[in-house]
Amino acid sequence: MCLAVPGRIESIEEKVAVVDIEGNRIKAMVSLVPEAAVGDWVLVHAGLAVTLMTEEEAQETLGLMREKYAVGDE
């Protein structure tokens, strides 16, 4: 339930941002990250941006989310 995904803010109007998450556009409130601006990366949980991230931090998370893991000979 505590899943959260990074995305980039495309626009902000009255505390509601349109966030591009891997090509999907969703609405998220930015009340908890008042300094957020268009172009910033944020982590979104349940329609709420919960923290700002750098592009590098966001890309690292997105990269790890796509990763498959192998320790043995799989």
Partner 1 sequence: MPSETNDRFREDIEEARKLGAKIGRKVTLMEVCGTHTVAICKSGLREILPPEIRLVSGPGCPVCVSTQGYIDACIELASRPEVTVATYGDMLRVPGTRGSLAEARAEGGGVLIVYSALDAVRYAAEHPDRKVVFVAVGFETSAPATALAVKMANEERIENFSALFSHKRIIPAMMALLAAPDLSIDAFICPGHVSVIIGPESYAPVAASGRPCVVSGFEAADVARAVRMILAQIAAGESRVENEYVRAVKPGGNTEAQKLFAQVFQISDENWRGIGVIPESGFTPAKKYARFDARAAHGIEVHEVPEPRGCRCGEVVRGAIDPEECRLFASACNPVHPVGPCMVSREGSCSAHYKYRRQAAKASEG
Residues that bind partner 1 (CB under 8 A): 1-4, 29, 31-34, 43, 45-48, 50-51, 53, 57-58, 60-61, 63-65, 67-71
CB-count exposure of residue 61 (10 Å: 0-12, 13-18, 19+): middle
Of 26 and 38, the one with the shorter C-beta distance to partner 1 is 26
Q: What is the CA radius of gyration of the chain?
A: 14
To partner 1, the closest distance from the beta carbon of 65 in angstroms equals 6
CB of 7 to partner 1, least distance (A): 13
Distance separating alpha carbons of residues 28 and 14, to the nearest angstrom: 11
